[in-house]
Amino acid sequence: MKEIKEYLNASPYALKATVWTDKGNNEGYYGLALKTDKAEPQRVVSSSTGKKVDKRVTGTHELLGTWDSIAKAAHAENMCAAKMSRSIKSNAEFGDYYYCMSNTV
């Protein structure tokens, strides 16, 4: 298990974040599921990480970047998805820029 996690953490093709399923949530990798005894596939429940995110300049609101989800924005900006989500919700500023949901400026 340790070797698999090390491989996935180093892989540019795997996105590690909080994963939501019908059984709850935990740290995991988007697009991967463990094989189960049931024949039916596990369904991933949509969460707030599916909302588009913008990175903007404080004051001028100039667009610096945009991502399709909170998870992708967090990964690109080297922070956890929970911190990204909280910073958007609380309108936190990071020096001369901030993150917000697309179409909210």
Q: Decide the pairing of beta strands 93-94 and 63-67.
A: unpaired
Question: Taking the alpha carbons of 76, 79, 85, 86 in that order, is the dihedral positive or negative?
Answer: negative
In the chain, domain spans = 48-101
pLDDT of res. 46: 47
Tens digits of residue pLDDT in 35-64: 665 555 555 444 444 689 999 999 999 999
pLDDT of res. 26: 80
pLDDT of res. 45: 47
pLDDT of res. 16: 82
- Spans of the chain, pLDDT less than 70: 21, 31-50, 104-105
Phi-psi region of 82 (alpha: psi -120 to 50; beta: other; left: phi over 0): alpha
pLDDT of res. 38: 56
CB 20 within 8 A of CB 45: yes
pLDDT of res. 48: 46
pTM of the model: 0.53
